[in-house]
A and B are shown apart, each in its own frame.
Chain A
């Protein structure tokens, strides 16, 4: 069996951050990255906005590599919109204090970004094999000693990094994940829509090269399910998508078809105005880890480290999604753990756990668990039905003139009481406080 120093499964952001760090640290050690797609990024989907601030704070070396990366736009305008049936209530936030150089967050297209980071990894000395699907982990008792590819090659290494994304069949093989619990995942569908940069800037009220992040809450599904929508501006395209928790959705009797939910979202008057005249050029779908409860003992095994989505490192709060930053941070941390354990020639579970988990506890694990209660709160159907309708009705009453209009207070207060200031509203507010 051929032997290399480290095998990385998956050339997504986690795998590539790991490869870059390892190759940079010691050019003499072989770093082999196996990727099933035609090239890094060919299989990968995100919303996508990448928060760079946590990367700079917790994965310094990776952040430095990002100079000259093909980012789309630096996000400056944030808009949250509550969609009611035929109305939309938005909070729009433009902040000149938002850092754009270096940016606080950027919009990205994964196919471009991952391919670029793949080239960086190659320049640094890592070896990426595309079109190569790993089908099995090789074991010696409990210990992972290498991988088998679909072409039948068996390759050995003292340590393997599983960065194979949300479905991580490799973590499953190693016994670190049991089955797939529907409530722990959300499905996302996304369109890329072509629109020239001038129109994007006019339509979203942006200065040149600035980006907008628009997040949609409300009854995206028409069934009060946990879900949200997004629209990000790229250089000359829009990323438009919906996210729906699989748990409640899959239990519906005769549920609505996901493509129909997408069209329902897209035909909302507000969304229609954002995308009018833009041409669909790609349709993608992907799953996102949801409500992850991270078990620190399931992040490593003898000879194996799990990083990125494969380890469940994502935070989907319905209207904001984080995962790419965690992928980069955990990828770099996995590399640092490999380097530390190599010095002691000890890739046992205990050694890897100490070196890896201790590094990401604050920046990733605790960051995610802190918000894990959030999904419970967000599963409340009223957030998607009553509240958006309520906001729309109150504003409708306030903005409309003519007819038999009563004084402002008399118009708005009964509506506010109906939708918000009542016992259920109090309970919702109380639960929200705990998050």
Chain B
């Protein structure tokens, strides 16, 4: 089962504003690119044309793994606003 299909099962209320901000300057010098594989929701991608790192924040499971794994401190990460984000029905 594809992770996108799994994420579609979750109850989520999306904010318009991203709770994750990426400092592209730092990413350019990053060779590890851990964010591209550690995210349990596979939300990070490298834009093929610009080489920029993007995150599809609306599927975020709010685990914080990307924040912990990023070796260069490129992420400004906070929890989504009170009314937003994933709301687990089972947990």
Contacts and interface: CB of A to CB of B under 8 A. Distances in A.
Interface of A: 36-38, 41-46, 48, 109-112, 114, 130-133, 135, 149-151, 166-167, 169, 180, 182, 185, 187-189, 191-192, 237, 246, 249-259, 262-263, 280-287
A44 B91 contact: yes
B76 interface: no
The secondary-structure label for the interface of chain B is loop
A280 B1 contact: yes
Interface in B35-64: 36-42, 61-64
Contacts of A237: 90
A286 B90 CA distance: 13
A255 B38 contact: yes
Interface of B: 1, 3, 6-7, 9-10, 32, 34, 36-42, 61-65, 67-69, 71, 78-79, 81-83, 85-91
Given A150-B81, A258-B42, A284-B61, A182 B90 contact: no
Most buried by A among B1, B40, B81, B87: B40
B45 to A, nearest CB: 11
Please list the 4 inter-chain residue pairs (A to B) with the smallest Cβ-Cβ separation, ordered nearest first.
A110-B91, A285-B40, A283-B6, A250-B69
Given A43-B62, A111-B89, A282-B88, A133 B41 contact: no
A41 B88 contact: yes
A52 B72 CA distance: 41
B53 to A, nearest CB: 15
B79 A45 contact: no
Nearest to B34: A250
Nearest to A131: B82
A258 B65 CA distance: 11
Contacts of B88: 41-45, 110-111, 282, 284
A154 to B, nearest CB: 16
A255 B62 CA distance: 21
A43 B63 CA distance: 10
Given A44-B88, A110-B88, A246 B32 contact: no
Nearest to B33: A254
A36 B86 contact: no
Contact of B9 (A43, A114, A262, A282): A282
Nearest to A189: B40
Most buried by A among B36, B64, B65, B81: B65
Given A250-B69, A250-B71, A287-B64, A187 B82 contact: no
A195 B89 CA distance: 16
A350 to B, nearest CB: 32
Contacts of A149: 82
A26 to B, nearest CB: 29
Contacts of A249: 34, 38, 69
A246 B91 contact: no
Contacts of A38: 83, 87
Contact of B1 (A180, A182, A185, A263): A263
Contacts of A255: 34, 37-38
Nearest to A111: B91
A254 B9 contact: no
A46 B42 contact: no
Most buried by A among B9, B78, B82, B87: B82
A182 B81 CA distance: 25
A281 B69 contact: no
A263 B3 CA distance: 9
Contacts of A167: 64, 67
A285 B63 CA distance: 6
Contacts of A282: 9-10, 88-90
Contacts of B82: 36, 130-133, 149-151
A17 B1 CA distance: 38
Contact of B10 (A48, A112, A114, A283): A283
A286 B63 contact: yes
Given A41-B91, A150-B82, A282-B88, 20 more contacts: A37-B87, A41-B88, A42-B91, A43-B88, A44-B91, A109-B90, A132-B82, A167-B67, A169-B78, A180-B67, A185-B65, A185-B68, A249-B34, A250-B32, A250-B34, A259-B6, A281-B9, A282-B90, A283-B7, A287-B65
